[in-house]
Amino acid sequence: MGIARKDIESANLSLQPQYSYPKNGEPKLTGYRATRNVSVTVRELANLNDILDGALADGLNRVNTISFSSSKEDEYKEQARMAAIADAKAKAASLAKGFGEPLGGVWQISYMTESPVRPIMMRMAAEAVSNTNASYQDAEITIRDQVEVIYALGE
């Protein structure tokens, strides 16, 4: 479906025995359940619905997690950080002015690491294939950054 091999990762195959438990008897081995986790990076978001529908139609019977991220996340995080710094400077200057004090230099900086808020969809069942209006895309990614700055008052 046009996905590069480097964008598909699969973990080891896991086998678990499956038993039946008759009321008046010993458990009986009925077979094995095979499980393999596959992670796929979809770079063309417009193709996501077709890719998932195709995988479900080809026998994939469970989608555990769909998460969205941006290939420009570092760039957006830097923009958010600069906006947080500018906001801290403006608020400090406003507060100092309100108290009639000159704003001195930075005394302490604390950086608050914060992960982007990503929409995540959990455990989508194979029945989603039958719903032609279903979409696997949701909402938007919010990237924030936070800085705490303590300024000294005075010159």
Q: Distance of alpha carbon 146 from its chain centroid, rounded? A: 19
Query: How would you label 114-140 residue by residue, b for 16+ Cβ within 10 Å and e otherwise?
Result: eebebeeeeebeeeebeeeeeebeeee
Q: CA distances (Å), 69 to each of 27, 49, 79, 91, 92, in order?
A: 46, 16, 16, 31, 33
- Structure tokens that stand for 7 in this block: 């964008």
Tens place of pLDDT per residue across the chain (155 aa)? 888 999 999 888 899 999 999 988 899 999 999 888 888 888 888 888 888 888 888 888 888 888 888 888 889 989 989 999 999 999 999 999 999 999 999 999 998 776 655 554 444 444 444 444 555 555 577 888 888 999 999 86
Q: Give the H/E segment covering residue 46.
A: none
Rounded CA-CA distance 48/45 in Å is 5
Identity of the amino acid at 106: V
